[in-house]
Chains A and B, each alone.
Chain A
Amino acid sequence: MRISETDDDNWFDDAAGRLIRPYTVSNGRTEPSIRMELLSMVIATGRRPHGHLGPDHSQALDLCSGVTTVAEIAARLRLPAVVAKILLSDLAGWGAVDTRAPDPMADNSNPAVLETIIYALKQRL
């Protein structure tokens, strides 16, 4: 068994995976307190919550320093998406992060958006 030296807050074994059961992190909770989706955007507000933040909340908050998505934070924490959502909804409730749910219907069929995507993709060719 080999535990990554750099992952003290997030014990992770290369073979066995995460060494702390995911729902221990969420205190047994399986539902976030506010609705969040994989592609909800989050960003830290700069306000630290009062009191001591546990290592998982603290690590999640650190990952929100720039605009990012719930999916990316879950992946970087190596936690199931629902557990990451619980951590992030706690942080939102404490005013430490802002969040916005995706609104796919606004853009998915918008020709101007599609043209913008085509233009941007062609720049990558």
Chain B
Amino acid sequence: MPSNNGSDGFPSALKLLIAGGFGVGKTTFVGSVSEIEPLRTEELLTTASVGTDRLTGVEQKSTTTVAMDFGRITISRDHVLYLFGTPGQERFWFMWDELSGGAMGAVVLADTRRLADCFPAVDFFESRGIRFLVAVNEFDSGIRYELDDLRSALDLKPDIPIVHCDARDQRSATGVLISLMHHLLASQAPR
């Protein structure tokens, strides 16, 4: 556990989000860099349905359980990083404001076989002003594309970094986090 020497006895928890489509390797990534086995937290969300049945005039509400796996890296006596993997199979995770609120940055994992799966995450972080980079997870069966080609395919802005990674590899995944921190340092514009 983080030690207890912050100014008021508590270290600060800093939040990073690991986003991307279902099966892209988010939990694998979190597990590679975390000092603990990934844990799971969940919340019940009530969402107004986006149904098209306007005739009834009744707003349907639905409840969905959103679960996120997370891990931890103790940085110092005063700071602890928490990495939350957003649930890729859940369409409504972004409605759990608490998960994205206050995030210092995000990694969007992309799979070249299903590149479009990461579009919702890219759109979401751009619209919220949450700074992020794209990490292309290399699968054994995947073809290795040039990063410039992937940048064009994703229509990424020129200032958004894009890197290769292997989510299973501790050094590779930690390197992605270091790249993200350099990006945050380089883009100190107010949000």
Contacts and interface: CB of A to CB of B under 8 A. Distances in A.
B40 interface: yes
Contacts, number: 113
Interface stretch (B6-14, B52-60, B86-94, B117-125): B6-14
A102 B102 CA distance: 9
Contacts of B190: 109
B106 to A, nearest CB: 12
Interface in A61-80: 66-69, 71-72, 74-76, 80
B73 interface: yes
Given A81-B41, A125-B175, A111 B99 contact: no
Q: Which 7 A-B pairs have the closest CB atoms?
A: A104-B102, A75-B39, A39-B13, A108-B104, A66-B1, A41-B10, A120-B75
A92 to B, nearest CB: 13
Contact of A76 (B3, B4, B39, B42): B39
Chain B residues touching A, majority SS: mixed
Contacts of B188: 109, 111
A35 B43 CA distance: 16
Contacts of B4: 43, 66-67
Interface in B86-116: 98-99, 102-104
Chain A contact-residue range equals 35 or more
Chain B contact-residue range equals 35 or more
A37 B102 CA distance: 11
A5 interface: no
A39 B79 CA distance: 12
